[in-house]
Amino acid sequence: MFIIRPIETKDLDGLMELLEKSGHGLTSLPKDPEVLKKRIRISERSFLHREDGPGGEDYIFVMEELFTGRLVGVCAIISKIGGFEPYYFYRVEKTQHESKSIHVKNEVTSLHFHFIHNGPAEICSLYLHPDYRNSQNGRFLSLSRFLFIAENRRYFEDQVVAELRGMVNDSGHSPFWDAVGKNFFKIDFPTADYLYVKNKRFIEELLPKHPIVTNLLPEDAQYVVGKVHQNTEPAKRILEQEGFRFSGLVGIFEPGPVLIADVDSIRAIRESVIGEIREIADKGIKSEVFIISRTNEQFRSALGSVVKLKTGGYRISGVTAAALKLRVGDNIRFVSFRPKVPARKAAKKK
């Protein structure tokens, strides 16, 4: 059984072990103990001390195998991006050109330097250990964050973005970087990725502000604009099912797509329910699978069954109650693990 909970200082070694196989592309969680230690401190402070509204808090969560204590996944939410240090992207624009005199039509794609000072919230830093990757664990890790947002709605902006990992190979090679980035930054891609975590300002200092016409780039560099890494495809599908859409922005270094959604329209937030535990069953109970979380300040989430009682309130299993440290009388927030399939689509599948 797995739980998802806020990261703690004691998790540093476990996080370092988890990230050993992360390869290139997990920009926000480099394999640097000092950087990770600092980010864990910021996360702990974010959970404990919050203003009346979003102020750039950085919440990191870990997925823990309950009976071994092993960390098998990590994810994060930033309540608001931008501020003193802006976030940088390219805005993708497509224009149609036509010459009637020679009967030619074409489309020109250009990338425009774009930065956000007063931005939306961001979900980020999603990584699941390769040995634990399946549709259930990945979905649980991704969607559990939305129950935290739902429970703490006033601490987050009204929109949320997700910058997805672009097409970079295991050795850190990016065709877009080779065609664009290295000409301006004069460093290799992994180094730029690492420096981006420490200080983003060098991007604005070195990157020209004029548009980049992608039609002039090598074909392999053109192809990766707006594409995601193959390991990120499942995460992209999950977010799209929840209501995320392409924002028109891509990353600066390896131009993966930036997805966006209105927070209150996200399925896992919109459909989540709060209820009181009236019964804890000694044996397992049968129902559809739900993502269940505590409603107090000590966030903790697990997968389990929830049954609505005719007398009011809900029944959960003893295993779920123990995992989430819940008792009769406590409240839970829960949502269906998967979106409901419309009747017409379900009929077609049969």
Q: Which two tokens stand for residue 166?
A: 């672009």
Name the catalytic one among 49, 97, 117, 229: 229
Closest by Cα among 55, 56, 17 to 36: 17
What is the DSSP code (8-state) at residue 277?
E
Distance CA 218, CA 256 (A): 17
Strands (DSSP E) found in the chain: 2-6, 58-65, 71-78, 82-99, 104-118, 121-128, 159-163, 212-213, 245-250, 257-262, 273-281, 289-294, 301-308, 314-317, 331-336
Distance CA 283, CA 315 (A): 11
Residue 229 annotated to the active site: yes
Distance CA 9, CA 28 (A): 17
CB proximity list for 134: less than 8 A, separation 6 or greater:
none
Distance CA 138, CA 318 (A): 24
Cβ–Cβ under 8 Å, residues 62 and 29 = no
Q: What are phi and psi of 204, to 5 degrees?
A: -65, -30
312: left (phi > 0), else alpha (psi -120 to 50), else beta?
Answer: left
Q: Classify strands 212-213 and 104-118 as parallel, antiparallel or unpaired.
A: antiparallel
Closest by Cα among 190, 71, 87 to 137: 71
Closest by Cα among 153, 203, 172 to 23: 172
SS3 194: helix
Catalytic residues: 229
